[in-house]
Amino acid sequence: MKLFYSPASPYVRMVSALALETGQADSIERLPSAAGPVKRDASILAHNPSGKVPTALLEDGSALYDSRVICEYLDARHQGPRLFPAEGPARWQALTLFALAQALLDAALLARYESALRPEDKRWDDWLEGQLAKVDSSVAELEADWIDRLEAAFDIGALGVACALGYLDFRFAERDWRATAPRLAAWYAEVSKRPSLAQTVPQG
Amino acid sequence: MKLFYSPASPYVRMVSALALETGQADSIERLPSAAGPVKRDASILAHNPSGKVPTALLEDGSALYDSRVICEYLDARHQGPRLFPAEGPARWQALTLFALAQALLDAALLARYESALRPEDKRWDDWLEGQLAKVDSSVAELEADWIDRLEAAFDIGALGVACALGYLDFRFAERDWRATAPRLAAWYAEVSKRPSLAQTVPQG
């Protein structure tokens, strides 16, 4: 499989971390990209009209996206324990937690674009605060309602949460999410030692 | 199942349409909501930290989100033909097409917020154009590369595309996506007659 890649993207990191967790990292050929919400990358656009990373290309030439789909595809291809529970409440909880992590990241990326990409005179405080409020609510909910589950099992939901928190450290270190989430911080310190996460720390 | 609901949300429409396709509409109790990217709805926030619709509440009180997860959950609960293919290339193609529809909508919503919600003096043309370019590329790719598949089967990917195109009619009618996509327009005219789509036309 080929993978349009960015070392700063938390969504790409989810795919890379899952590939490492499931012993498939060597079967992925990384393709460099320059994706962004304003500048588009023509090489990605030829396969995915949103122009986003991650976008995968399969052996038959067909494209696969987005991060959720590529993660589930890779998880269906190995023989070890699955990160996506197959069915029942475990599946819906894991997928909901994964969606929470994705929504946290969607809000964090919009906050980042508002405060770093958009021209200063076009920034709107209400928008920035609305997105950051989603980030803060998500961290609070992880600490209050999901931490027992996170501590119990490392599945696709936990992998997604770890990548989301890693992005906060990468781009929002000054906001210190750990201050109000001590159990989540302790969990994150522990899971960050996993090779799948230690080898995919964001760069850019 | 209870469902936080908005009659204008294309993501909610996907859930409502799937419920109608699979004979489960009567088992869903709609909860009114006032979700938005700047004004947050406390009743949703108590269950989903992103504050977005759709958010579902199951009989045991647990929450389920987002639209992709709720759709797959509902599809696993009925006895008729499934809209999510179970495995193999059919599954990955359907999920990629569903992701394309979601990304089209994500871009369309951001364009809508930029041009209708954000104060006029804070609007950034490059951002608006970047999002609209994703919408246009998506429509072009549906017409060029997905139309044979759309015409062949109505699965979760097709349902997602129909809801995405319906949103363009609802909020971007003046852009006339049909002008450059005649086969897609003919397909959409036909599938729009399905009760699941005819009964969920967006309002707001």
CA A79 centroid distance within chain: 23
Query: Which of B50, B73, B130 is opposite residue A107, by nearest beta carbon?
Result: B50
Q: Is the pLDDT of residue B40 over 90?
A: no
**Which chain A residue shows the shortest CA-CA distance from B120?**
A122
Which of helix, strand or coil describes residue A1?
coil
Q: What does the pLDDT look like over B56-81, one tens digit per residue?
A: 999 999 999 999 999 999 999 999 99
d(CA A11, CA B170): 30
The ipTM value here is 0.97
Domain chopping of chain A, boundaries:
2-75, 88-194
pLDDT-based confidence at B134, cuts 50/70/90? very high
Alpha-helix residue ranges (DSSP H) falling in A22-155: 42-45, 67-75, 88-112, 125-141, 147-152
d(CA B181, CA A190): 51
Q: What does the pLDDT look like over A73-105, one tens digit per residue?
A: 999 999 999 999 999 999 999 999 999 999 999
Whether residue B66 and residue A93 make contact (CB cut-off 8 A), yes or no, is no
Whether residue B138 and residue A50 make contact (CB cut-off 8 A), yes or no, is yes
Whether residue B96 and residue A65 make contact (CB cut-off 8 A), yes or no, is yes
Residue B21: predicted pLDDT: 98
Got the DSSP string for B116-141?
IIS-GGG--HHHHHHHHHHHHHHHHH
Is A126 within 8 Å of B38 (Cβ atoms)? yes
A81 to chain B, minimum CA–CA distance in Å?
18
| Percentage with pLDDT > 70 across chain B | 100
| Percentage with pLDDT > 90 across chain A | 94
* Per-chain mean pLDDT for chain A: 97
A155 to chain B, minimum CA–CA distance in Å?
16
Residue A116 CB burial class (10 angstroms; 0-12, 13-18, ≥19): exposed
Burial B78-93 (b: 16+ CB within 10 A, else e): beeeebbbeeeeebbb
B138 to chain A, minimum CA–CA distance in Å?
5
Q: Is the pLDDT of residue A40 over 90?
A: no
Residue A204: predicted pLDDT: 82
Contact residues on chain A for B127, CB-CB shorter than 8 A: 37-38, 113, 118
Whether residue A49 and residue B119 make contact (CB cut-off 8 A), yes or no, is no
Q: What does the pLDDT look like over B82-124, one tens digit per residue?
A: 999 999 999 999 999 999 999 999 999 999 999 999 999 999 9
**CATH topology for the B2-75 domain:** Glutaredoxin (3.40.30)
Interface probe with A: pick from B47, B50, B126, most Cβ of A within 10 Å:
B50
Q: What does the pLDDT look like over A127-140, one tens digit per residue?
A: 999 999 999 999 99
Q: What does the pLDDT look like over A98-128, one tens digit per residue?
A: 999 999 999 999 999 999 999 999 999 999 9
Residue A160: predicted pLDDT: 98
Whether residue A95 and residue B141 make contact (CB cut-off 8 A), yes or no, is no
Q: Is the pLDDT of residue A35 over 90?
A: no
| Percentage with pLDDT > 90 across chain B | 94
Contact residues on chain A for B14, CB-CB shorter than 8 A: none
Helix (H) or strand (E) holding A197: helix A195-198
B30 to chain A, minimum CA–CA distance in Å?
20
What 8-state DSSP symbol labels residue A202? Answer: -
Q: Is the pLDDT of residue A37 over 90?
A: no
Contact residues on chain A for B49, CB-CB shorter than 8 A: 100, 103-104, 134, 137-138, 140-141
d(CA A65, CA A55): 5
CA B162 centroid distance within chain: 8
A198 to chain B, minimum CA–CA distance in Å?
28
Q: Is the pLDDT of residue B188 over 90?
A: yes
Summarize the confidence of residues A56-64 as an average pLDDT.
96
User: Would you report the helix, strand and coil content of chain A in percent, each value rounded to 5?
Assistant: 60, 5, 30
CATH code for B88-194?
Answer: 1.20.1050.10
Half-sphere exposure of B160 (CA within 13 A, CB side): 27
Residue A38: predicted pLDDT: 85
Contact residues on chain A for B63, CB-CB shorter than 8 A: 96
Asked which of A3-17, A35-49, A134-148, B21-35 is least confident by mean pLDDT, the reply is A35-49
Half-sphere exposure of A41 (CA within 13 A, CB side): 20
* Per-chain mean pLDDT for chain B: 97
Q: Is the pLDDT of residue A34 over 90?
A: no
Higher local confidence (pLDDT), A34 or A171:
A171
Which tokens sit at B66? Answer: 């987002």
Whether residue B133 and residue A72 make contact (CB cut-off 8 A), yes or no, is no
pLDDT-based confidence at A32, cuts 50/70/90? confident
Residue A39: predicted pLDDT: 84
